[in-house]
Structure 1
Amino acid sequence: MRILGRVLLAVLLLLLLVGGVIAWYTAHPNLPEYSKPEKMVHLDQWSPADRETYYYTPQGTQVKGLRYDWFTHLEQPFNKDKFASPENLARFGFLIEPEQIGRAADDTLAATALTTTKNPGNLPVGFARHQDGETGAWYLDITCSACHTGELRYKGTAVRIDGGAAMHSIASTVPTLRGGAFGQALGASLASTYYVPWKFDRFAKGVLGDRYPKGKAALKRDVRNVLGTLLSTAWNDTHRGLYPTLEGPGRADAFGRIANSVFGDGIDASNYRVANAPVNYPQVWDIWKFDWVQWNGSAMQPMARNIGEALGVGATLRLFESDGKPVMGDERYASSVRLRDLYTLEETLKQLKPPTWPKAVFGDIDLKKASQGRALFQANCVYCHGPHVKEPGAADYIAPARVPEWRMKMVPTSEIGTDPTTADNIADHTFDVRPLKLKVEELKGMNVHLYPENDEKLDLSKISAAKGLAYVTAFVEQRAYRDAHISEAQQQEMNGYGLPIGVQELRAYKARPLDGIWATPPFLHNGSVPNLFQMLSPVAERDAQFWVGSFEYDPKFAGYRTERFPGGFLYKTSVTGNSNRGHEFRDGCRKDGVIGRALSPEERWALVEYLKVLGNPEYESKLAPNVPTPPWTPGPKCE
């Protein structure tokens, strides 16, 4: 018995040691220190009012039920500093104005920052709030601008890229010794607040105000419930091994997380699928012109796309009763998505222009090189990247009210050769939705169109991710419109040009137009190529690993600086989902992702210089016309 007791004690001590190590690294994430820029530059992409609307309009999402005032009063685990202080959240890569540093949540910000009307908690871009219609509670609402706003730093100046790619670490819920993810650190702060009495007292006084101490017991119960949800999510994602490829700053397996949220969390645990294909956050200027969106071109209707994104970020969705039976009839699919706000965001984004090269910050353009680069672009790039503008009135014009309409070139993964994991997962993963008691005939009556059309009967025991999300989204959309008393005519307008919820399933990636591409590093869908010069180089000349998480920009190469720095994340292209293969210009036959002839270093520099000004009339008008350049050729026949 004595030996058994010693063994059990040793096991207990080992578990405590492991738990302590995990807790320490979770509470002390390996993050860079925030450095306040000497100057902040906002480019002329739209009006300040549009920017404020985009930054702080809620979508109806919730962070596991976390209240807005709880978030602003949480302390960091080992000190009294607020977890939501701008300088702390900026360490995770969230974007703030320099003027926010050192201000209390109820201060009025300087004119260069945003007013507290929409941002009373003095929080970063994308941290909004919404009020529950039944309880009146205000919830923390992570909105689309959190992931689709970028920033570039150069010689002490920060250049904000509205609609660009974020470089934060928000997605991961799986504890690691490295730490560094927002969700892990939030859980550590919430746990320390709940379990440390004096911390909870300070928290309760701040949240409750003159209702303290009467409401303290109820508050502690509510905090326990949210903490339990966070911990159960972390345990679920960890022990199931759902996210084996570390996402790191600026990436998330968005489609995989949405599918796991809707089909796994929402329907049945058998529907969880390994999500090992992180993608970087795409820029969102001009997307209202696109016929198909998502990296794999799987979605058509703007409202459905936005509802799906909101569900993935944390909008609530009621599918089952408390007894486990599916909600039936008109009571189905109640959610927290806010259709009018989603429509406001979509309409506001139509005003967003691509960023133009800030020569006062990054230096002027070499017009001679850019002129050569334009000729090279026309010969080697425009076939895929266009834009391919459809003439209004054409028989196959999809949305007559949308002018212009850009057709996206969808390039099969077998041709482009880039990492296929994202496209393959979306094509191959299927889900069992039979617990919802859906009827195939009912689904046929939904506003969901499959492209191309086919008569194949739906198998609800193994429906694809794209189709399954389309039907769930259609039900959510239908219910939300009814609850909001929105007329049929208004629905058509809010959906986006009266478009149906279109679905196509391709093992392909979208070749989008490249206006403003210089402002969106790193490149390829998975962020595996650090700058534009390497993007135009053979794979053998691309970095096999590099450091990410810094905002420091290299205007020569048009990409982030990639040397090691404190708190950086090492991106390894050898990891599943992280390959930097494909989209390669190299001599030889056109296979395995080789799409064009080898470009000399001088030609690559010329293309990089042109990509800095593509679509900018001020510069385009200064470029020399008809610069001779070798034409694109198909290359030798592949054996």
Structure 2
Amino acid sequence: MKFLKTCLNSLWGLISFPFTGWKNLVFFLLSLPAVFALFLLGVFLSGGANPFLYQTEKDRDGPARVHETDIVYLEQGWDFAYRQKYYFTAQGSHIIPLDMALALESPSSEQLIFGADGTAVNKFGYLPYPSTDQNNDNMELGLNPMGLPVGFVEDIDRKGNSMLGINCAGCHASNMKIADRTVRIDGGAALGDFMGLVGEIDTALIVTMNNPEKRARYAVRRGIELDEAYAELEVASVERQAWQRRNRTEFPHGYSRVDAFGIIFNQVVARDMHLDTRGRHGNVQTPKAPASYPVLWDTPFMGRVQWSGGSNNLIGTDPLARNIGQVLGVFGGVEVTVQNSLPGYCSTPKRKNLELYNFWLQTLKSPKWDDPALKGILPDLDPELVTRGELIYNGKVPGDERRGTEACSSCHGVISDAWRNKEREDKQVCDVPISMVSHDTVKTDRELVDTARRQGALTGLLAGQKSQIKSGETLRARESYMLVLAEVIKGSFAGAYLSASCDGDVSPANLIATANTFGYFAKKAKQDKKQKEADKQKQSRALTSGGFALSPEDIERSRTHLTDARDILNYAEDHVDIPDASVELARANEMLALSNLERAYNNQGIAQHIAGVEPENPQLFRLDFETAQTNLARAKEIIARQNPEDGFSATAGFLDAANLKTAELNFQQAQDNMTPKPATKSMECRPTDIYSSFAYKARPLNGIWASAPYLHNGSVPTLYDILLPPADLKGNCRTDECRPSQFYVGSTQFDPVKIGFETEKTPNSSLLDTTLPGNRNSGHLFRQDLSHEDRMALIEYLKSL
């Protein structure tokens, strides 16, 4: 064991090799047989094989296709083999033992939850899929022998137990009913009721345990005695009821939505950190930011992902770290401890499978309205309307040119069909343009960004430990929830490469694979350090170029000017013998000083922006739009009040006119800086400050026609409605048409005119009330001036993307 411990500790030391020298390598070499040592040295010197490119040709090509005659599949880049792997590959999610799940009846009937006709499909809207017994072609893959819905899988835990799990497809695949045909949207926003289904499972455990007839039928299905059935139901219900207590909501979030951040925080920052209570001594918070599921096409090629843009996607390890967090949030687990002899935490996420998911998504394309499979199912596009809509989208209608946020393209860039149809090898991260739009600009419901920025999480046993995220800093007793989550994910990420420490796998193959991975990371760490130095030099050049008033001395001079100007103004206002014009001159001087200070901060922010780093004063970088607007109005008022007979009028008028011009320029600059622009490659690929971001991500709208309902919280049912203003909280509409204040979600029947799903009440639907916090349909009030005809033209263009 001493040999093993020395070997593994030396392996871990390799990752810090560029910074600690040759010591770790020497100890490591001495602890291994000569052949393995020489192999490892070769791996290390070559930088190691990239662990994210290990897929075989079999993984890429897949076996023969499987045919399903009742589903219309689109040309989204996947064949049936890829599709089924995406649907049924485990990722490390453990809800309850699979045998128990398959034997559970609905609490209110004898219908099985996961049977062929189960409530998971018929009541909660998840997608049915034939088992291998029902579809002989499917047997070649050996996937889904139990006929589970899409996205539900058999997931084997570390002890070899077969568990019911959920994967990416459970939340990111959907069906839409167009006339009498069912169309599959791979990577689309799921319409299932996640919280409802989980509640059904958890209630069924208790009801079955306490209802003799249900328990008897359950025991027969399981092939066990009644007492044994009672015992296993009781054990399972303890954990499941704890989950329900953590994640109870103030109102049902319903179909097509879940508060992902809230649930992940409760699972990881509360439960896995052993702080599973509410109040002063725990980290449990009520989930109150329901979000629609984002579509997944093109995400591997964006610099940032998630609705808040709070997750980086820049280097090979970013997608894996993000997906580890996702697994931990949906019934995964991690053992957070500071007692490990090796770095990293043991956790359930399946690293290799998560890497495969990222690989598969690189080949996924957005659905097209004019897909050949939809010919005769959807109406043909109108070329003239598409052309008119494109002009509106880009703000280029002759005689009505638009700038800033009045043009859709200022936030939502456009990717070409040529790029869409490229092979994955020819696409790169950051090819897809995104914009981070401040909440002050878009003004949609703020609960999600508030949740993402939540402060005050207890750090528990991590308090006083060195941060793995913020280099050189020590974790305090309380930090932001996002930082604590990132710390745990980082530990889980490291543990994912140390299966020897978690599972006891000490086979030569596993040790070689671990060394191979660390060789890659050692090389990457060296490259990252070099890049940081280059970024520092770039920032330094940007901060001293372009004529910007950027130095601390410049800002301090501006502050002093403002203080002096205010002193003069106060003196002038307090002495009645001073002419009014002089008072006005002093007031103008104060405004000029204020403008100069704002401009200094703004220029500093611009330079930092050019340098590719977060501005030190992001709120001042944007400029206070309202202050600039007020200054402009005051300057105009001053000039209007000038008395031509006053001896000071000429001088005062001239200076005030100059000040007016300054105010106008500052106002325009404020307007420009508050206006989101299509992201440049350097902007969208900057590392994201995930701890303070107060913005929503705007992505290209290709495939938007197939991803209703709209806005991040799914509070607007159709594309047509998004172009209307919302009613007030009492339901009063001040225009001819408004967004609906209430509508039902759950139908998959597609509306090809307004572009969305039907909103009438059905037996399996939920009411979405937009007057409730988290459900607000406010904001995104762009192009409210469009006529009905122009709205339809814009929608026609959006359908064509």
Query: TM-score, structure 2 length as denominator?
Result: 0.60
- Select the residue among 463, 466, 469 that pairs with 2:482: 466
- Select the residue among 127, 146, 150 that pairs with 1:96: 127
What's the offset of the Cα at 1:156?
Answer: 1.8
What's the offset of the Cα at 1:237?
Answer: 4.1
CA distance in 2, matches of 1:131, 1:413: 42
Asked if 2 retains the 8 angstrom alpha-carbon contact of 1:449 and 1:502, the reply is: no
- Whose strand fraction is larger, Structure 1's or Structure 2's? 1
Alignment of 1:124 with 2:149, yes or no, is: yes
Asked if 1 retains the 8 angstrom alpha-carbon contact of 2:457 and 2:480, the reply is: yes
Q: Which moved more, 1:272-281 or 1:473-482?
A: 272-281
Equivalent in the alignment of 2:347: 335
Task: Tell me: CA distance 1:106–1:291, structure 2 relative to 1, closer, same or farther (3 Å).
Answer: closer
Q: Which moved more, 1:400-409 or 1:602-611?
A: 400-409
Equivalent in the alignment of 2:541: none
Task: Tell me: CA distance 1:183–1:491, structure 2 relative to 1, closer, same or farther (3 Å).
Answer: farther
Asked if 2 retains the 8 angstrom alpha-carbon contact of 1:359 and 1:365, the reply is: no
- Select the residue among 768, 775, 781 that pairs with 1:571: 768
Task: Please tell me whether Structure 1 or Structure 2 has the larger radius of gyration of its CA atoms.
Answer: 2
The one-character-per-residue Cα deviations of 1:253-278 (angstroms, maximum 9, x if unpaired) are 10011011112222212211232111
Equivalent in the alignment of 1:591: none
Amino acid at match of 2:775: N
For residues 63-78 of structure 1, what are the structure 2 equivalents within 5 Å? 63=95, 66-77=96-107
CA distance in 1, matches of 2:768, 2:784: 28
What's the offset of the Cα at 1:226?
Answer: 0.6
Task: Tell me: CA distance 1:236–1:377, structure 2 relative to 1, closer, same or farther (3 Å).
Answer: closer
The one-character-per-residue Cα deviations of 1:22-66 (angstroms, maximum 9, x if unpaired) are xxxxxxxxxxxxxxx994211121111110011001110111xx1
What's the offset of the Cα at 1:165?
Answer: 0.4
Alignment of 1:145 with 2:169, yes or no, is: yes
CA distance in 2, matches of 1:494, 1:354: 33
Alignment of 1:606 with 2:793, yes or no, is: yes
What's the offset of the Cα at 1:539?
Answer: 2.7
- Select the residue among 514, 533, 548 that pairs with 2:720: 533
- Select the residue among 127, 135, 150 that pairs with 1:109: 135
Amino acid at match of 1:252: V
Asked if 1 retains the 8 angstrom alpha-carbon contact of 2:265 and 2:481, the reply is: yes
Amino acid at match of 2:208: T
Partner-residue secondary structure (3-state), 2:154: strand
CA distance in 2, matches of 1:488, 1:529: 51
CA distance in 1, matches of 2:177, 2:92: 32
The one-character-per-residue Cα deviations of 1:92-125 (angstroms, maximum 9, x if unpaired) are 444434x74xxxx6723265x7878221210110
- Select the residue among 32, 42, 48 that pairs with 2:73: 42
The one-character-per-residue Cα deviations of 1:446-494 (angstroms, maximum 9, x if unpaired) are 3x479xxxx8x55532211222211110000001111174446647989
Asked if 2 retains the 8 angstrom alpha-carbon contact of 1:94 and 1:125, the reply is: no
Task: Tell me: CA distance 1:491–1:421, structure 2 relative to 1, closer, same or farther (3 Å).
Answer: farther
Task: Tell me: CA distance 1:108–1:492, structure 2 relative to 1, closer, same or farther (3 Å).
Answer: farther
Alignment of 1:517 with 2:716, yes or no, is: no
Asked if 1 retains the 8 angstrom alpha-carbon contact of 2:464 and 2:477, the reply is: no
CA distance in 2, matches of 1:432, 1:159: 46
What's the offset of the Cα at 1:68?
Answer: 1.2
Alignment of 1:160 with 2:187, yes or no, is: no
CA distance in 1, matches of 2:109, 2:760: 32
CA distance in 1, matches of 2:344, 2:429: 36
CA distance in 2, matches of 1:349, 1:494: 23
CA distance in 1, matches of 2:328, 2:470: 21
What's the offset of the Cα at 1:430?
Answer: 2.9
The one-character-per-residue Cα deviations of 1:401-425 (angstroms, maximum 9, x if unpaired) are 9356334210000011111111122
Task: Tell me: CA distance 1:548–1:38, structure 2 relative to 1, closer, same or farther (3 Å).
Answer: farther
CA distance in 2, matches of 1:146, 1:133: 23
- Select the residue among 73, 87, 94 that pairs with 1:55: 87
Asked if 2 retains the 8 angstrom alpha-carbon contact of 1:116 and 1:122, the reply is: no
Task: Tell me: CA distance 1:558–1:567, structure 2 relative to 1, closer, same or farther (3 Å).
Answer: same
- Select the residue among 175, 184, 205 that pairs with 2:199: 184
Amino acid at match of 1:194: M
CA distance in 2, matches of 1:114, 1:278: 38
- Whose helix fraction is larger, Structure 1's or Structure 2's? 2
CA distance in 1, matches of 2:454, 2:713: 19
Amino acid at match of 1:123: L
Amino acid at match of 1:472: V
Asked if 2 retains the 8 angstrom alpha-carbon contact of 1:59 and 1:338, the reply is: yes
Task: Tell me: CA distance 1:249–1:221, structure 2 relative to 1, closer, same or farther (3 Å).
Answer: same
Partner-residue secondary structure (3-state), 1:158: strand
Asked if 1 retains the 8 angstrom alpha-carbon contact of 2:439 and 2:695, the reply is: yes
Partner-residue secondary structure (3-state), 2:394: helix
What's the offset of the Cα at 1:534?
Answer: 1.2
Amino acid at match of 1:304: A
Asked if 2 retains the 8 angstrom alpha-carbon contact of 1:149 and 1:163, the reply is: yes
Amino acid at match of 1:121: M
Amino acid at match of 2:707: T
CA distance in 1, matches of 2:739, 2:762: 20
Asked if 1 retains the 8 angstrom alpha-carbon contact of 2:173 and 2:188, the reply is: yes
Task: Tell me: CA distance 1:272–1:78, structure 2 relative to 1, closer, same or farther (3 Å).
Answer: closer
Equivalent in the alignment of 2:360: 348
The one-character-per-residue Cα deviations of 1:495-550 (angstroms, maximum 9, x if unpaired) are 9x999996533100000111100000000000111111111223342111111111
Task: Tell me: CA distance 1:127–1:245, structure 2 relative to 1, closer, same or farther (3 Å).
Answer: same
CA distance in 1, matches of 2:353, 2:459: 29
- Select the residue among 300, 315, 319 that pairs with 1:302: 319
Task: Tell me: CA distance 1:502–1:475, structure 2 relative to 1, closer, same or farther (3 Å).
Answer: farther
Partner-residue secondary structure (3-state), 1:151: strand
Amino acid at match of 1:600: S
Equivalent in the alignment of 1:206: 221
Amino acid at match of 2:767: L
| Aligned sequence identity (%) | 30
Amino acid at match of 1:50: Y
Task: Tell me: CA distance 1:75–1:403, structure 2 relative to 1, closer, same or farther (3 Å).
Answer: closer
Alignment of 1:227 with 2:237, yes or no, is: yes
CA distance in 2, matches of 1:335, 1:458: 24
Partner-residue secondary structure (3-state), 2:153: strand
The one-character-per-residue Cα deviations of 1:290-325 (angstroms, maximum 9, x if unpaired) are 0011111111111111011100001121226xxxxx
CA distance in 1, matches of 2:722, 2:246: 37
Alignment of 1:257 with 2:257, yes or no, is: no
Partner-residue secondary structure (3-state), 1:353: coil
Equivalent in the alignment of 2:300: 288
Structure 2 gap ranges (5+)? 1-67, 313-317, 396-406, 417-424, 501-509, 529-686, 728-737
What's the offset of the Cα at 1:161?
Answer: 0.5
Asked if 1 retains the 8 angstrom alpha-carbon contact of 2:72 and 2:182, the reply is: yes
Task: Tell me: CA distance 1:528–1:507, structure 2 relative to 1, closer, same or farther (3 Å).
Answer: same
Query: TM-score, structure 1 length as denominator?
Result: 0.75
- Select the residue among 375, 380, 393 that pairs with 1:364: 380
Alignment of 1:408 with 2:455, yes or no, is: no
Asked if 2 retains the 8 angstrom alpha-carbon contact of 1:317 and 1:336, the reply is: yes
Amino acid at match of 1:130: D
Partner-residue secondary structure (3-state), 2:390: helix
Equivalent in the alignment of 2:739: 542
Asked if 1 retains the 8 angstrom alpha-carbon contact of 2:246 and 2:285, the reply is: no
Task: Tell me: CA distance 1:602–1:56, structure 2 relative to 1, closer, same or farther (3 Å).
Answer: same
Asked if 2 retains the 8 angstrom alpha-carbon contact of 1:318 and 1:332, the reply is: no
Count how many residue pairs are aligned between Structure 1 and Structure 2: 517
Amino acid at match of 1:161: I
- Select the residue among 336, 361, 368 that pairs with 1:319: 336
Alignment of 1:373 with 2:373, yes or no, is: no
Amino acid at match of 1:132: D
